[in-house]
Amino acid sequence: MRYLLVEDNAELAEAVLRRLMLDGHAVDHAPDLATARDCLAAADYDLILLDVMLPDGDGREFLASSRVHLETPVIVLTARSQVSDRVDALDGGADDYLTKPFDFVELEARCRAVLRRRGGSARNQIALGAATFDPLSGTLSHQGRSTALRNREIRLLEIFARHPGQILSKPQLMDRLFSYDAEVTENAIEVCVGRLRRRIAGTGLSIETVRGLGYRMEIAAA
Protein backbone atom coordinates (compact mmCIF):
# COMPACT_ATOMS: atom_id res chain seq x y z
CA MET A 1 0.00 0.00 0.00
CA ARG A 2 1.17 3.54 -0.72
CA TYR A 3 0.55 6.22 1.88
CA LEU A 4 1.03 9.98 1.87
CA LEU A 5 2.03 11.50 5.22
CA VAL A 6 1.40 15.25 5.45
CA GLU A 7 3.18 16.32 8.64
CA ASP A 8 5.51 19.26 9.38
CA ASN A 9 7.02 17.85 12.58
CA ALA A 10 10.20 16.25 11.24
CA GLU A 11 10.77 14.00 14.26
CA LEU A 12 7.23 12.63 14.27
CA ALA A 13 7.23 12.23 10.49
CA GLU A 14 10.46 10.24 10.60
CA ALA A 15 9.06 7.94 13.30
CA VAL A 16 5.80 7.33 11.38
CA LEU A 17 7.67 6.75 8.12
CA ARG A 18 10.01 4.27 9.76
CA ARG A 19 7.17 2.32 11.39
CA LEU A 20 4.97 2.09 8.28
CA MET A 21 7.87 1.24 5.98
CA LEU A 22 8.88 -1.59 8.32
CA ASP A 23 5.43 -3.04 7.58
CA GLY A 24 6.25 -2.97 3.87
CA HIS A 25 4.24 0.12 2.94
CA ALA A 26 5.54 2.77 0.55
CA VAL A 27 5.25 6.15 2.24
CA ASP A 28 5.83 9.62 0.79
CA HIS A 29 6.30 12.57 3.13
CA ALA A 30 4.99 16.09 2.52
CA PRO A 31 5.99 18.71 5.15
CA ASP A 32 3.40 21.19 3.88
CA LEU A 33 0.25 21.46 1.78
CA ALA A 34 2.05 22.67 -1.34
CA THR A 35 4.18 19.52 -1.37
CA ALA A 36 1.11 17.42 -0.65
CA ARG A 37 -0.63 18.86 -3.72
CA ASP A 38 2.42 18.05 -5.85
CA CYS A 39 2.47 14.47 -4.54
CA LEU A 40 -1.25 13.98 -5.21
CA ALA A 41 -0.83 15.32 -8.73
CA ALA A 42 2.00 12.89 -9.42
CA ALA A 43 0.81 9.65 -7.79
CA ASP A 44 -2.20 7.68 -6.57
CA TYR A 45 -2.39 6.86 -2.87
CA ASP A 46 -4.28 4.25 -0.89
CA LEU A 47 -4.39 6.39 2.26
CA ILE A 48 -3.50 9.91 3.41
CA LEU A 49 -2.38 10.78 6.95
CA LEU A 50 -3.05 14.50 7.29
CA ASP A 51 -1.87 16.90 10.00
CA VAL A 52 -4.12 19.87 10.78
CA MET A 53 -1.73 22.75 11.56
CA LEU A 54 0.71 23.07 8.68
CA PRO A 55 3.09 25.91 7.74
CA ASP A 56 1.04 26.99 4.72
CA GLY A 57 -2.51 26.35 5.89
CA ASP A 58 -5.09 24.29 7.74
CA GLY A 59 -5.25 20.62 6.78
CA ARG A 60 -9.01 20.55 7.38
CA GLU A 61 -9.63 23.34 4.91
CA PHE A 62 -7.38 21.59 2.41
CA LEU A 63 -9.33 18.37 2.88
CA ALA A 64 -12.74 20.02 2.58
CA SER A 65 -11.77 21.77 -0.66
CA SER A 66 -10.14 18.64 -2.07
CA ARG A 67 -13.04 16.28 -1.41
CA VAL A 68 -14.71 17.44 -4.64
CA HIS A 69 -12.19 15.37 -6.60
CA LEU A 70 -10.24 13.44 -3.96
CA GLU A 71 -11.63 10.00 -3.08
CA THR A 72 -8.60 8.68 -1.21
CA PRO A 73 -9.38 7.85 2.45
CA VAL A 74 -7.93 10.33 4.94
CA ILE A 75 -7.02 10.02 8.63
CA VAL A 76 -6.57 13.40 10.30
CA LEU A 77 -3.73 13.68 12.84
CA THR A 78 -3.86 16.55 15.33
CA ALA A 79 -3.10 17.64 18.88
CA ARG A 80 -6.60 19.11 19.17
CA SER A 81 -8.83 16.82 21.22
CA GLN A 82 -12.09 18.75 21.58
CA VAL A 83 -15.24 17.02 20.33
CA SER A 84 -15.91 20.00 18.05
CA ASP A 85 -12.51 19.53 16.41
CA ARG A 86 -13.22 15.87 15.69
CA VAL A 87 -16.67 16.69 14.35
CA ASP A 88 -15.26 19.40 12.06
CA ALA A 89 -12.66 17.01 10.68
CA LEU A 90 -15.14 14.20 10.06
CA ASP A 91 -17.75 16.51 8.56
CA GLY A 92 -15.01 18.02 6.39
CA GLY A 93 -14.33 14.68 4.72
CA ALA A 94 -12.00 12.76 7.04
CA ASP A 95 -12.55 9.02 7.34
CA ASP A 96 -11.05 8.90 10.83
CA TYR A 97 -9.36 11.09 13.42
CA LEU A 98 -6.37 10.40 15.66
CA THR A 99 -5.22 12.68 18.48
CA LYS A 100 -1.52 13.28 19.14
CA PRO A 101 0.36 11.85 20.86
CA PHE A 102 -0.73 8.46 19.60
CA ASP A 103 0.51 4.91 19.80
CA PHE A 104 1.83 3.48 16.56
CA VAL A 105 -0.11 0.27 17.14
CA GLU A 106 -3.34 2.28 17.19
CA LEU A 107 -2.30 4.21 14.07
CA GLU A 108 -1.69 0.97 12.20
CA ALA A 109 -5.02 -0.46 13.38
CA ARG A 110 -6.91 2.65 12.27
CA CYS A 111 -5.21 2.52 8.87
CA ARG A 112 -6.31 -1.08 8.44
CA ALA A 113 -9.85 -0.29 9.57
CA VAL A 114 -10.24 2.63 7.18
CA LEU A 115 -8.91 0.58 4.25
CA ARG A 116 -11.24 -2.30 5.15
CA ARG A 117 -14.25 -0.01 5.19
CA ARG A 118 -13.30 1.48 1.85
CA GLY A 119 -12.92 -2.06 0.49
CA GLY A 120 -16.35 -3.08 1.84
CA SER A 121 -14.98 -5.61 4.34
CA ALA A 122 -15.31 -5.85 8.11
CA ARG A 123 -12.54 -8.43 8.54
CA ASN A 124 -8.80 -8.48 7.95
CA GLN A 125 -8.98 -11.82 6.14
CA ILE A 126 -9.47 -11.84 2.38
CA ALA A 127 -11.00 -14.93 0.74
CA LEU A 128 -9.19 -15.87 -2.46
CA GLY A 129 -10.91 -18.95 -3.82
CA ALA A 130 -9.97 -21.84 -1.54
CA ALA A 131 -7.23 -19.78 0.09
CA THR A 132 -7.44 -17.16 2.83
CA PHE A 133 -5.07 -14.22 3.00
CA ASP A 134 -4.53 -12.26 6.23
CA PRO A 135 -2.52 -9.06 5.60
CA LEU A 136 -2.32 -8.39 9.36
CA SER A 137 -0.57 -11.65 10.26
CA GLY A 138 1.09 -11.88 6.85
CA THR A 139 -0.12 -15.42 6.21
CA LEU A 140 -1.73 -17.25 3.31
CA SER A 141 -3.73 -20.33 4.32
CA HIS A 142 -4.88 -23.19 2.10
CA GLN A 143 -6.22 -26.62 3.10
CA GLY A 144 -4.93 -26.35 6.66
CA ARG A 145 -1.48 -25.19 5.61
CA SER A 146 -0.33 -21.66 6.43
CA THR A 147 2.50 -19.87 4.63
CA ALA A 148 4.23 -16.86 6.20
CA LEU A 149 4.99 -14.05 3.78
CA ARG A 150 7.63 -11.33 3.96
CA ASN A 151 6.60 -7.67 4.11
CA ARG A 152 7.03 -6.89 0.41
CA GLU A 153 5.25 -10.13 -0.50
CA ILE A 154 2.37 -9.22 1.82
CA ARG A 155 1.89 -5.82 0.19
CA LEU A 156 2.20 -7.19 -3.33
CA LEU A 157 -0.35 -9.94 -2.68
CA GLU A 158 -2.62 -7.36 -1.04
CA ILE A 159 -2.50 -5.27 -4.22
CA PHE A 160 -3.36 -8.25 -6.41
CA ALA A 161 -6.04 -9.42 -3.97
CA ARG A 162 -7.82 -6.08 -4.18
CA HIS A 163 -7.73 -6.18 -8.00
CA PRO A 164 -8.50 -9.82 -8.90
CA GLY A 165 -8.48 -10.49 -12.63
CA GLN A 166 -7.27 -6.97 -13.38
CA ILE A 167 -4.08 -6.39 -15.36
CA LEU A 168 -1.61 -4.31 -13.35
CA SER A 169 1.34 -2.81 -15.20
CA LYS A 170 4.85 -2.70 -13.78
CA PRO A 171 4.65 1.09 -13.31
CA GLN A 172 1.37 0.67 -11.40
CA LEU A 173 2.94 -1.91 -9.10
CA MET A 174 6.04 0.25 -8.61
CA ASP A 175 3.78 3.15 -7.72
CA ARG A 176 2.06 1.09 -5.02
CA LEU A 177 5.13 -0.66 -3.60
CA PHE A 178 7.77 2.06 -3.54
CA SER A 179 7.88 5.72 -2.46
CA TYR A 180 8.79 8.38 -5.02
CA ASP A 181 12.37 8.75 -3.72
CA ALA A 182 13.15 5.02 -3.89
CA GLU A 183 15.71 4.16 -6.56
CA VAL A 184 14.16 1.09 -8.17
CA THR A 185 13.71 -0.25 -11.69
CA GLU A 186 11.05 -2.45 -13.26
CA ASN A 187 13.41 -5.36 -12.62
CA ALA A 188 12.59 -4.99 -8.91
CA ILE A 189 8.95 -5.76 -9.74
CA GLU A 190 9.95 -8.85 -11.68
CA VAL A 191 11.94 -10.06 -8.67
CA CYS A 192 9.06 -9.38 -6.26
CA VAL A 193 6.54 -11.14 -8.51
CA GLY A 194 8.87 -14.12 -8.91
CA ARG A 195 9.22 -14.51 -5.15
CA LEU A 196 5.47 -14.21 -4.59
CA ARG A 197 4.77 -16.81 -7.27
CA ARG A 198 6.89 -19.31 -5.36
CA ARG A 199 5.04 -18.53 -2.14
CA ILE A 200 1.55 -19.01 -3.59
CA ALA A 201 2.32 -22.17 -5.54
CA GLY A 202 -0.25 -24.89 -4.83
CA THR A 203 -2.83 -22.54 -3.26
CA GLY A 204 -5.08 -22.13 -6.30
CA LEU A 205 -3.63 -18.68 -6.96
CA SER A 206 -1.42 -17.77 -9.88
CA ILE A 207 0.10 -14.59 -11.26
CA GLU A 208 0.03 -14.55 -15.03
CA THR A 209 2.28 -12.42 -17.21
CA VAL A 210 0.30 -10.53 -19.84
CA ARG A 211 2.93 -9.77 -22.43
CA GLY A 212 3.49 -6.08 -22.96
CA LEU A 213 0.88 -5.10 -20.37
CA GLY A 214 1.82 -6.42 -16.94
CA TYR A 215 0.54 -9.04 -14.51
CA ARG A 216 -2.82 -10.47 -13.53
CA MET A 217 -3.75 -12.70 -10.61
CA GLU A 218 -6.02 -15.64 -11.37
CA ILE A 219 -7.99 -17.37 -8.63
CA ALA A 220 -9.11 -20.97 -9.06
CA ALA A 221 -12.67 -21.77 -7.99
CA ALA A 222 -12.99 -22.96 -4.39
Give the CATH fold of the 126-219 domain.
Arc Repressor Mutant, subunit A (1.10.10)
pTM (predicted TM-score): 0.78
The boundaries of every CATH 3.40.50.2300 domain in the chain are 2-118
pLDDT tens track for 121-146: 656 788 999 999 998 889 999 999 99
Mean pLDDT in the chain? 91
**CA distance linking residue 107 with residue 49, whole number of Å:** 10
pLDDT tens track for 166-222: 999 999 999 888 887 788 888 999 999 999 999 999 999 999 999 999 999 999 886
Q: Are strands 74-78 and 47-51 parallel, antiparallel or unpaired?
A: parallel
The boundaries of every CATH 1.10.10.10 domain in the chain are 126-219
First to last CA, the chain: 27
Across the range 61-70, mean pLDDT stands at 89
* CA neighbor of 154 nearest in space, from 32, 57, 26, 48: 26
User: In this model, does residue 83 exceed pLDDT 90?
Assistant: no
2-118: CATH number: 3.40.50.2300
